[in-house]
Amino acid sequence: MPAAGWRTLFLLLLLPVCCCGEEECVLGLVGRPISLSCFLPQLLTSVNLSIAWRRGGEVVLRSVWREDGEVEEWSVSRFSTPQDASLSGDFSLQLPSVAASENNTHFSLVETSGGNSSSELCSVCLQTAASFSTPLLQREESKRGGKAVFSCESSGGFPAPTLSWLINNKEYPPPGAVTTITTPHPDTQLFNISSRLTVNLAKDVGVTCIVENPKLNETLSSSSYSVNRSTVHNRASEAMWIFSTVLCVVVGVLVLTGVAYQIHLDRVHMRKKHDFPKLQSRGYKRRSPDKEEEEEEPMKPEKKESEV
Ligand SMILES: *[C@@H]1O[C@H](CO)[C@@H](O)[C@H](O)[C@H]1NC(C)=O
Ligand SMILES: *[C@@H]1O[C@H](CO)[C@@H](O)[C@H](O)[C@H]1NC(C)=O
Ligand SMILES: *[C@@H]1O[C@H](CO)[C@@H](O)[C@H](O)[C@H]1NC(C)=O
Ligand SMILES: *[C@@H]1O[C@H](CO)[C@@H](O)[C@H](O)[C@H]1NC(C)=O
Ligand SMILES: *[C@@H]1O[C@H](CO)[C@@H](O)[C@H](O)[C@H]1NC(C)=O
Ligand SMILES: *[C@H]1O[C@H](CO)[C@@H](O)[C@H](O)[C@H]1NC(C)=O
């Protein structure tokens, strides 16, 4: 009796230490499979071994390995243990798909051979997390002049994220300028977050929306710079195109005007020459055929220039 008493006392003292020392939290990604580790080689010697995995107080898996080699397994939600558990001592619980609602859930393995449950031989706490979508940043049409309204949305993450805004990469918006709503999905418990920033801004100011999921060390951000840079670039090239076209036209007109004026001067000069008495003899010689040629020749380049 005293020996058994001491042993019980020893076990009672040891139990909480074992329980809490062995407890560890693992992070499961929502929608992905996970294995909750549990290695118990000491169980391999048991005859008619039976174990149970519990989620909180609820039994989610039962396995029995009979003396004759028969194996019975029952579980919820396609939970399982490795096929060769009774040979390898690996009794890890395999979840095919983690749900966000399983955050902060305590899983434990107990031995149930002989009808009574043992203490928790394995104990694992599960925390869950899911990535958010890249924030969708949009500039809304502002109804009042001088105000810029930006909206930022991100969805499907877990747990609830933090959302912050940055103006020109360095300033935080003034308090009251931001309205943020976080909505959990009633079934999946995944969060959507949406935020609006209303602020007095100069036209070309840039804003950044930052969504952080500390559980995953994940920081996602979208910035209005990249969007607007392309717009500015497009505009710039468009402006360059218009400018060069206008320049070409102006230069062309100037050249034509210059040429026309030159031709005009030439003609005036010619007439003057023609009227000069001492050149009259030459003028006479050339008279009818030459005159027409000379009259027409200057016309030809003019026509060509105007066509160009
Ligand atoms: C194991 O289970 C079988 C069938 O239930 C039984 O006949 C056998 O006696 C059990 N063995 C032990 C050691 O409990
Ligand atoms: C998830 O579990 C962690 C760890 O206990 C807890 O701090 C957190 O509040 C839980 N999150 C949600 C959304 O339940
Ligand atoms: C189960 O435990 C109770 C006491 O907690 C004991 O009386 C009983 O004999 C045990 N049953 C088996 C099958 O070991
Ligand atoms: C969260 O956003 C997604 C995609 O935008 C949508 O399908 C879903 O219904 C939203 N959930 C909630 C709770 O608003
Ligand atoms: C997040 O970062 C901390 C410290 O840098 C690290 O301890 C932790 O393991 C990281 N978590 C993930 C999910 O990467
Ligand atoms: C970029 O600037 C233009 C006008 O300057 C604006 O219409 C557009 O919404 C801006 N884009 C973003 C993402 O803020």
pLDDT 10s digits, 88-105 = 889 999 999 999 999 999
101 residue type, one letter: S
| Same domain as 119, residue 190 | no
Q: Closest residue (by CA) to atom 10 of ligand 1? A: 48
In-domain check, residue 261: no
Nearest CA to 140 among 192, 91, 196? 196
> Measuring CA to CA, which residue among 146, 168, 162, 182 is closest to residue 223?
168
Ligand 2 atom closest to residue 158's alpha carbon, by position in its atom list: 13
For residue 116, report the distance from its CA to the centre of ligand 3, in Å: 6
**Whole-angstrom distance, CA of residue 141 vs CA of residue 147:** 9
- Higher-confidence residue of 145 and 108: namely 108
* Domain assignment present for 124: yes
Q: Kindly state the tokens that stand for 159.
A: 């747990």
Residue 107 and residue 64 share a domain: yes
Give residue-wise pLDDT tens across range 178-228: 999 999 999 999 999 999 998 876 666 789 999 999 999 999 999 986 444
Q: pLDDT at residue 115 above 80?
A: no
Structure tokens at 189: 């418990």
Q: Based on the domain organization, do 122 and 151 belong to the same domain?
A: no
Whether the bond into 174 is cis, omega within 30 of 0: no
More confident residue, 224 or 159: 159
Q: Which of 230, 254, 280 lies at the terminal end of a domain, its last residue?
A: 230
Does 141 lie in the same domain as 125? no
Last residue of a domain, one of 230, 263, 281: 230
In terms of average pLDDT, the best of 27-31, 63-67, 138-142 is 27-31
Domain membership of residue 118 (yes or no) is: yes
| 249: in domain | no
Of 230, 247, 269, the one marking the end of a domain is: 230
Same-domain pairing of 125 and 148: no
Grouping H, G, I as helix, E, B as strand and the rest as coil, residue 231 is helix
Name the residue among 54, 212, 27, 216 with its Cα closest to residue 121: 54
Residue 94 buriedness (CB in 10 A; 0-12 / 13-18 / 19+): middle
Residue 274 lies in a domain: no
In a domain, 198, yes or no: yes
Tell whether 159 and 117 lie within a shared domain.
Answer: no
Please give the number of the atom of ligand 3 that sits closest to the Cα of 116.
Answer: 1
Q: Which carries the bigger pLDDT value, residue 204 or residue 229? A: 204
Choosing from 102, 103, 126 the residue with most ligand 2 atoms within 8 A of its CB, the one to mutate for a pocket test is 103
Does residue 250 form part of some domain?
A: no
**Do 162 and 116 fall into the same domain?**
no
| Ligand 4 pocket list (CB less than 6 A) | 155, 183, 185, 192
CA of 177 from ligand 4 middle (Å) equals 24
The parent domain of residue 74 ranges over: 23-129
Q: What is the pLDDT, as a whole number, of residue 271?
A: 75
Query: What pLDDT does 106 receive?
Result: 94
> 153 and 119, same structural domain?
no
Residue 28 belongs to a domain with what CATH number? 2.60.40.10
Check whether residue 58 and residue 39 sit in a common domain.
yes
120 and 217 in a single domain? The answer is no
Q: Within a domain: residue 31?
A: yes
- What total number of domains does the chain contain? 2
